[in-house]
Amino acid sequence: MFIKRIHYYLNLWLLMSKNSFSVWLTQRRQILIFLSGKLLRFGFFLAFLYFLVKGSDNLAGYSVNQTVFFFLTFNVVDILGQFLFREVYRFRPLIVSGDFDLVLTKPMNALFRVLMGGADVIDLITIPPLFVAVYYVGRLLAPSPAQIIYYFFLILNGLIIAMAFHIAVLSLGIITLEVDHTIMIYRDLTNMGRFPIEIYKQPLKGFLTYLVPVGVMISLPAKAMMGLISPTGILASFALGSVMFILSLRFWNFALTKYTSASS
Amino acid sequence: MKKYLSVFKISFQGEFVYKLNFIMWRARNVLQIFLVFFLWDAVFSQPNRVIFGYDRSKILTYVFGLLIVRAFVLSARAVEVAGEISRGDLSNYLLKPVNYFRYWFTRDISSKALNLAFATIEVVVLYYVLKPPFFIQTNPTILLSFLASIILAVFIFFVLLFMTSTVPFWMPEIAWGAQFLVVTIVVEFLSGALFPIDVLPVTIQNILYLTPFPYLIFFPLQVYLGKIEGLLIVKGLLISFCWAIALRSLLKIVWEKGLRVYQAHGR
């Protein structure tokens, strides 16, 4: 039964992603411009980071390769998150217009539809070269097989936390009708994970570790690859990811009870 | 002049219509400053360290200066021009007895005034929270040069933004895309709004100095910090001035060509 359900939603996701890509492919010039912009931003930031750490010997004790690996790990979580959860950015019009009613009446989990209903083709294009860069720089850190496995599971955990945040943004959107700025503030906060969390001072460091756990989402996987994390730390981060995911689902269920269907 | 004063007043009041939007926008600016501040704070963790020609007080002053200079130079209402062209709303203005450029420049100034006021308050609050060493420039000549460089930067950014906004004359569907590429990416990185350009190798710096971008943020802050003096300030101001004139002339040509192909799509 469970396998059948997974298969059903996987097919739905493939269908919705295909539709989303078809829409984008009618705007080829837009894709080209946004893709160029994203690649330029990535290239500029990488160059800056390289020259900065090279000129100053290290950043909070991390070498050039390690700092670049933090940045690449940030991009893995950020881009995969945007690729999977892009539909969140289109949620507000549904709520404001009351068209969310149409989602609620369909034979599909409404959260699944508004969270994962529109995969982003531009992010999909950037994922393969990013993985190649992670592989290349990751190899320079000479990790053990165990460290590589920890890295993959912690990235997965980071994505679960990212999903929890996106669900919270959707829930807040139902209650307050505000989505755009909330999601951008979430992204600004995660942007702080471009650098090792050690550069921040208290209370910001505590905030980024426990409240908006950018450290767990981004810094921890990178540190696991460098062999700087204990098994207890890894278990604690999985526990945090699970708790955040459960809390976000509860918040979503609560938010649904506040939906007024106004304007529909 | 009177009508532009009215535009200024209305636009200024308009900024308060969407209060939450404005507060969120300022909150995002502060978050970005946190990122840059703590990055440089970590690099200059040893108090007497000098890297890339900066000591701790100068680099942290650069970070705080970013908040003020960005608020004044890069905040603009003219980002809406591209959308107006692609939706055909430009027609409304062409029929009115207003100069379209002056209209948007006035709206930009009202936005800048509000952003500058908030940025100043934020700098004061952040100063007391973060307690950084601060470099205060007291030389009146340098302060005047800083002011002149800011005025030129405002003008260059206005013209650059308008140039980017003319893209929808030919390709209405990429109004936002062109701005994303030029304003959000290229200007953000090459103007020194994220990091000082002198972090980069000298060859790259020399190439960048040939473009208008460093004169938006980096050059004014270098003048304030006293890293550029005497004839180099004059040279920089002259280059800024030349860019302002050249871009203004180019905009005039592009705008006239754009108006010839303008079809008021959507009207």
* pLDDT tens-digit readout, A196-246: 888 888 888 888 877 778 889 989 999 999 998 888 888 999 999 999 999
Closest CA to A185 of B211, B43, B27, B151: B27
* pLDDT tens-digit readout, B206-263: 999 999 999 999 999 999 999 888 899 999 999 999 999 999 999 999 999 999 999 8
What is d(CA A6, CA A13) in angstroms, rounded to the nearest whole number? 10
Partner-chain residue, chosen from A29, A40, A60, that has the shortest CB–CB distance to B174: A29
Domain ranges of chain A: 2-256
| pLDDT number for residue B216 | 96
Q: Return the amino acid letter for B98.
A: V
| pLDDT number for residue A264 | 66
Q: pLDDT band for B73, please (50, 70, 90 cuts).
A: very high
What residue ranges of chain A have pLDDT lower than 70? Answer: 264
Q: Tell if the CB–CB gap between A48 and B200 is shorter than 8 Å.
A: yes
Domain ranges of chain B: 2-261
Q: Compute the average pLDDT of residues B101-117.
A: 91
DSSP tag of A80: H
| pLDDT number for residue B44 | 85
CA-atom Rg of chain B in angstroms: 19
State the complex-level ipTM. Answer: 0.83
Q: Does B231 touch chain A (CB under 8 A)?
A: no
The whole model's pTM is what?
0.87
Tell me which of B131 and A221 has the higher pLDDT: A221
Q: Where are the alpha helices (DSSP H) in A87-144?
A: 91-97, 100-104, 110-116, 121-140
Taking only residues 126 to 185 of chain B, the set having a beta carbon closer than 8 angstroms to any beta carbon of chain A reads 171, 173-174, 177-178, 180-181, 184-185
Q: Which of A218-227, A242-251, B23-32, B83-92 has the lowest mean pLDDT?
A: B23-32
Helix (H, G, I), strand (E, B) or coil at B54: strand
Residue B226 CB partners (closer than 8 Å, separation 6+): B137, B139, B142
Q: Does B39 touch chain A (CB under 8 A)?
A: yes
Q: Tell if the CB–CB gap between A178 and B20 is shorter than 8 Å.
A: yes
Copy the structure tokens of residue A45.
């930031």
